[in-house]
Amino acid sequence: MKTPRQNRSPTFGEEIDLLYLNLMKADVPYEEYKREFLKLEKHWLQRAKTPNQRLAVQRIIASTLLTEAYGARLPWKEFGPWLRRIQRLGFADLGMRVHVSCLYVQSLHHFPRQAREAWNMLDDAERRALRLRRGRPLREEHMQSIAHTKKVARVPRPPPR
C-alpha cells in the first residue's frame, strides 16, 4: 500500500537535493553540475505557477552554481556571472546574502581586482546581521560566518579611498 507521500511527485527541494547527491557521488566536473542544474531549472520554471515561484527557482539554482564555482576554484569568468545573476535576482534572505558575501571574499585570491566590491558586500551583510536582535541564533550564526571569512580571507581589505 502506497502512502500519499509516495503518490505525489517530488518537490523542487527534493529534486535539487537528489540531483546534488547523485552528482556528488558520481564526482562529476563543474560543467556537468552546471548542465544538470540548468536543465532542472528549465523544468521547474515551466512548472512554476507564479512569478515568485519562478524567482525562487532562479535564485536557488544561481546560488547553488555559485557555490559549486567556488568549490571548483573557478576564475571570475565563471564565478562572476553567477554572482551578478544573484545580485540581479535579489537575495531571498539574509542567510543567502551572508553566504554569497562570504564566498566572494574567500575566493578573492582567484580575482583580487574585485576586492573592494567583495569586502563592501561583506560589510553590508555584516551591518544587516548586526541589526538582528541580540541572542537570536541566526544573528550569531551569520556573525560567526562573517568572522570566519575575515579570518581566512587571503586578500586583505583594501585601504579606504
User: For residue range 89-116, what is the model confidence (pLDDT) as tens digits?
Assistant: 999 999 999 999 999 999 999 999 999 9
Q: How far apart are the C-alpha atoms of 7 and 116, rounded to whole Å?
A: 51
Lookup: cell for 68 = 559549486
Lookup: cell for 143 = 556573525
Residue pointed to by grid coordinates 565563471:
78
Provide the whole-model pTM.
Answer: 0.92
Q: For residue 6, how far is the Cα from the chain centroid?
A: 30
